[in-house]
Structures are given as structure tokens and as C-alpha cells.
């Protein structure tokens, strides 16, 4: 079967492309914006990519059009497909019908940590010899890809609450019908499609309804929103983590015992930062236990886990300044990421460089939370291009510890002028951010070269 994917360069749809190709289908696709890591993955797979959404693509005559949720009515190719009454489906529905049917699906849902926890769980199963399939919204360093079919009945899927497609406004995860489901946390997000937290809770309730009574829900203790979800109905086994009576951790962030009901069942020793990752680990170990992986073995596997690209990923060091890349874009994730870096790297300042790029942030619905989210950074530098609210005004409570720039070059120059040897530059965005990581490292290197020649700091040279 020839399938043509609209919006193929999104992390989810790019994963669908990889799975379809591995399943023997001929795959092509189109998109308007391309950036790593998905563009690299598609190129490596040899999947044909067309730039843009010209209606002339109807001439490809695929057997099925798979439409990503970034594609809206008015898109010229989508309108041509509808006018021609061509067969089409959404990515989640295609996944459910062609990949997940008949398999033991382990779904990871929640506002934060889905990608990392999904990657941990897939890696645990891999290390236990279970050879799972997976579809994750990022690229785990250990696998090098975001999706694969796998060689067993097990399939790990990052279960996103975002809407399915232009024709299906339910959350993606209602299609997956998991037997094991992690509900990692729940906060308000996606202001472009959900009016309030209660609307998202309803979607999580729909997910809970699809888990069989022989299935298992794995939920953190202390989440009021998730407790409200479960009060609306729970028909499956229920386990809690971050709970002394359930799954808990004892120790630090990088060396800790995993406890089940107060008894130690394994020990994790790794290089990941942050309390949030310790919680993610507990959820992954608990989910793996549901499919028969002993906690001790799961903990050993996590000790070899290398993390996920763009999740506190060290990109390099230049002129004594370390540059990190992180996907954080929700205020809670921003605060958690900064806190994790602060604990792991107590020496040196943290310069938070961020782009409010998500649809929620672009709408400005969380701008009042930014000063609190950035409070632990020594200096915050934000990119205001692409938003129509006043970022500088939103950051005003931070005083001289925050600045906003509408020009990318001005932002790069400001970071390079401000950074000192021993500093940590933490770049946060859910997009490509104009390749700012490489630009910063290059400019810092040129600054060092200029200083060595006796020319003094070269804050703007060659950035």
C-alpha cells in the first residue's frame, strides 16, 4: 500500500512514517517546516519528502492519505483530497488499526515527561530481552530512532492528549486502548484546543474508560487533577508511585533505591538530572513490572539509559561555557528543568534562553507564570519573535535578571556578551529555535579566539 502523510515532519507523524515503511508500505509525505531530529530520521530512512501542500500532489494517487493534526481545513492539499473524495485517516487511527491491534499496548500519558518515561520504559523492556515496538515523541539516545515495529507483542506509545485530526477532535490517546497506562501528571496545557483543565480531565477520563479490568493504571500520589479523573470511574487495577505505600524512591537523584510497599526491590545509578526523572523512573519500573519484568532487572536497565535528545542534552562547551538543549516549554517544565540543572551543576550561573513557541505560550495564557518558572535562573533571555504579546512586560517582575529580544541575532549577541566561563546556558524550546545552539557555540568559540589574539571579547563576531 502507498500512503502519503500530510505533516510528516512532526515527531508523531514521522514515527508513523517509520512504522509504515517497516511494515512494508510505500511511504511518501509532505510538510512545510523541517528541523532535526525528525528531518534526519526521515532522510536516513529514505522516505520521499515534498515541501509544501500543493494540491498537485493528488497526482501521486496513493492508496491512503494519512492526515496529521497540524493540518487544518483550508490547507490546499486537504481540500483537494476532500473534493476528490479520496480515502483518508488520522495518524492515531492508522496506528491503532495497523500496528496496535492485538498487541499489549503500554501507553504513557501526562502533561510532562511522556517522551522521557516512554523511552525509559521501552529501554527497560529492550534490556530485559522483550524487543518491544515503540512510538515516542522524541529520539532516545539508546535507540537512535523515535519508532520501530518491534519483535514482540509489546508496544510502548507516547499517549498525547492533543487532538487527533481536523475531523476528530478527541485526544489522540483514546485510539490506543492500552492494557498498561501511566498517567504521569496533569496540568492545564494546549490552550488552543482546551478551554480549561476540566476539559482535559474529561479526555483522561475517556482514556481510563478504554483500559480493561485486567489492565493497570499507574498514577502518582498527590495529583488532585488525576484524582478527580479517577473519581469519575476506574475499572482497572490501580498502582501509585511517589507513594510510600506503592512505588517510591530513597536516596538522591542519581543514586537511589526503588521501593515497593516500603521494601527495596532495586537500585538505580545513572547520570540523569532532576527529581522529575526519578519519578519518571518509578513509573517506568512499575509499568514494566506489569508485563513481568522484575524491578531489579528494570533498575539495572535504567543504569544504562542514556536519555533522550533535547531533554537536558549537553550540546557542547566553548570558552568555558556549557550549552544545554531542552524541550521544556510549559512553565512547570521550565521550572523543573532549571531546578534539575541547578542541583546537578551547583557551581556557575544558569543563563536560561527560552522561546515561548508552543500554541499555549503563543496565546499568552501562561505568561504570568514565567517569572516564577524562571526564578532560579541567574539570567533569563527570551525570544519574542512570533508572539503578539509583550514578553518584556511579562518578565518585568524579574527586573534586571531578564531581557527579551524580538531579533534572533540580538538574542545570540546578548547571550554571548553575558556568558562567563563556568556558566551554563540552558536553551529551552519545543522547536528548532533557529539553530541557536550551534550559533552560540560558534560565537563563543570566536570570542575565545579573539580574546587569545588580545582583541578582547567578541560578543557579536560571526554569530
pLDDT for 233-281, tens place per residue?
999 999 999 999 999 999 988 899 999 999 999 999 998 877 888 999 9
Report the share of the chain in percent with pLDDT over 90: 54
Residue 132: enclosing H or E segment and its boundaries? none
> 221 in helix, strand or coil?
coil
Confidence of residue 347 (pLDDT cuts 50, 70, 90): confident
Give pLDDT, residue 33: 73
Mean pLDDT, range 24-28, rounded to an integer:
95
Does 344 score more than 80 pLDDT?
Answer: no
Mean pLDDT of all residues in the chain? 89
Nearest residue to 425 via CA among 321, 333, 340: 321
Confidence of residue 456 (pLDDT cuts 50, 70, 90): low
Give pLDDT, residue 283: 97
Give pLDDT, residue 450: 80
Does 45 score more than 90 pLDDT?
Answer: no
Nearest residue to 4 via CA among 29, 24, 31, 40: 29
> What are residue 51's DSSP bridge partners?
31
CATH of domain 313-452: 3.90.190.20
Give pLDDT, residue 22: 95
Region for 74 from its dihedrals, namely left if φ exceeds 0, alpha if ψ lies in -120 to 50, beta otherwise: left
This prediction has a pTM of: 0.77
Confidence of residue 309 (pLDDT cuts 50, 70, 90): low
Confidence of residue 442 (pLDDT cuts 50, 70, 90): confident
Nearest residue to 351 via CA among 414, 286, 288, 299: 414
Give pLDDT, residue 110: 93
Lowest mean pLDDT among 155-159, 226-230, 316-320, 430-434: 430-434
Mean pLDDT, range 43-69, rounded to an integer:
93
Does 371 score more than 90 pLDDT?
Answer: no
Lowest mean pLDDT among 129-133, 362-366, 420-424: 362-366
Give pLDDT, residue 35: 60
Confidence of residue 461 (pLDDT cuts 50, 70, 90): very low
- Residues 390-440: pLDDT tens digits? 888 888 898 989 888 888 898 988 888 898 899 999 998 877 777 888 888
Q: Which residue has the cell 481536523?
A: 166
Does domain 102-302 fall under CATH 3.40.50.300? My reply is no
Alpha-carbon distance of 186 to 168, in angstroms, equals 22
* Sequence-separated (6 or more) residues with CB below 8 Å from residue 367: 356, 361, 389, 391, 394
Mean pLDDT, range 371-382, rounded to an integer:
88
Cβ atoms of 232 and 211 within 8 Å: the answer is: no
* Sequence-separated (6 or more) residues with CB below 8 Å from residue 201: 186, 225, 228, 229, 232
Does 129 score more than 60 pLDDT?
Answer: yes
Distances (CA, A) of 199 to 70, 104, 185: 20, 28, 15
**What ranges do the domains of the chain cover?**
2-92, 102-302, 313-452
Lowest mean pLDDT among 161-175, 404-418, 436-450: 436-450
Does 205 score more than 80 pLDDT?
Answer: yes
* Fold adopted by 2-92: Rossmann fold (3.40.50)
Give pLDDT, residue 341: 84
Confidence of residue 463 (pLDDT cuts 50, 70, 90): very low
Does 190 score more than 80 pLDDT?
Answer: no
Confidence of residue 362 (pLDDT cuts 50, 70, 90): low
Confidence of residue 462 (pLDDT cuts 50, 70, 90): very low
Alpha-carbon distance of 398 to 162, in angstroms, equals 32
Give pLDDT, residue 145: 85
Pick the most confident of 194-198, 288-292, 339-343, 365-369. Answer: 288-292
Distance between alpha carbon 344 and the CA centroid of its chain, in Å? Answer: 21
Residue 293: enclosing H or E segment and its boundaries? none
Amino acid at each position: 500500500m502507498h500512503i502519503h502523510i500530510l505533516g510528516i515532519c512532526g515527531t508523531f507523524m514521522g514515527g508513523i512514517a517509520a512504522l509504515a515503511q517497516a511494515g512494508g508500505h510505500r511511504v511518501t509525505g509532505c510538510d512545510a517546516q523541517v528541523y532535526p531530529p525528525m528531518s534526519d530520521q526521515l532522510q536516513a530512512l529514505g522516505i520521499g519528502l515534498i515541501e509544501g501542500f500543493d494540491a498537485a500532489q493528488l497526482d501521486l494517487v496513493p492508496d491512503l492519505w494519512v492526515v496529521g493534526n497540524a493540518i487544518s481545513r483550508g490547507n490546499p492539499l486537504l481540500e483537494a483530497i476532500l473534493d476528490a473524495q479520496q480515502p483518508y485517516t488520522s495518524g492515531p487511527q492508522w496506528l491503532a488499526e495497523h500496528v496496535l491491534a492485538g498487541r499489549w499496548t503500554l501507553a504513557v500519558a501526562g502533561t510532562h515527561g511522556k517522551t522521557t518515561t516512554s523511552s525509559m520504559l521501552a529501554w527497560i523492556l529492550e534490556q530485559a530481552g522483550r524487543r518491544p515496538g515503540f512510538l515516542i515523541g522524541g529520539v532516545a539516545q539508546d535507540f537512535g530512532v523515535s519508532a520501530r515495529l518491534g519483535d514482540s507483542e509489546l508496544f510502548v506509545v507516547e499517549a498525547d492528549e492533543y487532538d487527533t485530526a481536523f475531523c476528530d477532535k478527541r485526544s489522540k490517546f483514546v485510539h490506543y486502548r492500552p492494557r498498561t497506562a501511566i498517567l504521569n501528571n496533569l496540568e492545564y496545557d494546549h490552550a488552543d484546543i482546551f478551554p480549561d483543565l476540566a476539559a482535559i480531565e474529561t479526555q483522561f477520563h475517556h482514556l481510563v474508560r478504554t483500559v480493561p479490568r485486567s489492565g493497570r493504571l499507574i498514577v502518582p500520589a498527590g495529583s488532585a487533577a488525576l484524582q478527580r479523573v479517577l473519581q469519575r470511574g476506574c475499572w482497572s487495577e490501580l498502582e501509585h508511585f511517589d507513594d510510600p505505600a506503592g512505588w517510591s524512591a530513597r536516596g538522591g537523584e542519581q543514586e537511589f533505591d526503588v521501593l515497593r510497599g516500603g521494601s527495596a526491590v532495586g537500585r538505580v545509578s545513572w547520570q540523569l538530572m532532576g527529581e522529575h526523572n526519578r519519578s519518571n523512573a518509578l513509573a517506568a519500573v512499575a509499568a514494566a513490572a506489569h508485563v513481568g519484568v522484575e524491578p531489579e532487572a528494570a533498575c539495572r536497565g535504567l543504569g544504562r539509559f542514556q536519555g533522550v535528545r533535547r531533554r537536558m542534552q549537553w550540546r557542547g562547551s566553548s570558552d568555558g561555557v556549557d550549552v544545554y538543549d531542552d524541550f521544556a516549554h510549559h512553565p512547570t517544565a521550565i521550572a523543573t528543568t532549571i531546578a534539575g540543572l541547578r542541583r546537578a551543576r551547583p557551581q556557575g550561573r544558569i543563563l536560561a534562553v527560552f522561546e515561548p513557541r508552543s500554541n499555549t505560550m503563543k496565546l499568552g495564557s501562561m505568561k504570568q507564570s514565567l517569572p516564577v518558572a524562571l526564578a532560579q535562573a541567574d539570567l533569563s533571555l527570551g525570544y519574542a519573535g512570533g508572539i503578539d504579546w509583550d514578553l518584556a512586560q511579562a518578565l518585568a517582575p524579574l527586573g534586571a535578571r531578564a531581557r527579551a529580544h524580538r531579533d534572533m541575532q540580538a538574542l545570540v549577541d546578548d547571550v554571548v556578551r553575558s556568558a562567563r566561563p563556568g556558566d551554563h546556558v540552558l536553551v529551552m524550546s519545543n522547536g528548532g529555535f533557529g539553530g541557536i545552539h550551534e550559533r552560540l557555540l560558534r560565537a563563543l568559540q570566536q570570542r575565545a579566539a579573539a580574546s587569545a589574539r588580545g582583541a578582547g571579547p567578541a560578543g557579536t563576531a560571526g554569530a
